[in-house]
Amino acid sequence: MKFVIDNILLVVTALVSGGLLLWPMVRRGTGGPWVTATQAVQLINKEDALVLDIREAPEYSAAHILNARNIPLKDLAARAKEIEKFKQKPVIVACDSGSRSGAAVTVLKQQGFANVHNLSGGLGAWQQAGLPTEKQ
């Protein structure tokens, strides 16, 4: 106990750094299943997956995954019928970093979509992998 009191800054630093190391695993527990950019390409090529970009229109226009469909997250529940034909196909949900798309995965699952995936790292990871994007 004396060690903890004498080295409180060291103990707090160790606890904080341990928490930061665990955060990605905790975050991935929601909004999944997650797919990497490479796995997403395989789903697109082999299973004709839909890429759904849930960012706002200006973000989508700046750059998006080739042939991605844009429905902003705030409109997704109301506009889910537009992509109803993909209920039994893989749907890959993308945003900038992969965090907003987690909420979209939940919405789509509630709407009855059976095979929904969250793009890990979002458009940033897609671009970092050197995969093609387009502008509107």
Q: What range does the domain containing 52 cover? A: 31-134
Q: Does 86 or 9 have the greater pLDDT score?
A: 86
Residues 82, 63 share a domain: yes
Structure tokens belonging to residue 11 = 């103990």
Q: Tens digit of pLDDT for each residue in 28-61?
A: 445 679 999 999 999 999 999 999 999 999 999 9
Burial-class residue 127 by CB neighbours within 10 Å (0-12, 13-18, 19+): middle
Please count the structural domains in the chain.
Answer: 2
Residues 69, 9 share a domain: no
C-alpha dihedral (114, 120, 126, 127), degrees to nearest 10: 150
What's the pLDDT score for residue 136? Answer: 81
Residues 97, 44 share a domain: yes
Residues 9, 48 share a domain: no
Distance of CA 121 to the CA centre of its chain: 6
Q: Tens digit of pLDDT for each residue in 53-99?
A: 999 999 999 999 999 999 999 999 999 999 999 999 999 999 998 88
pTM value is 0.78
Residues 57, 68 share a domain: yes
Residues 64, 125 share a domain: yes
Residues 35, 14 share a domain: no
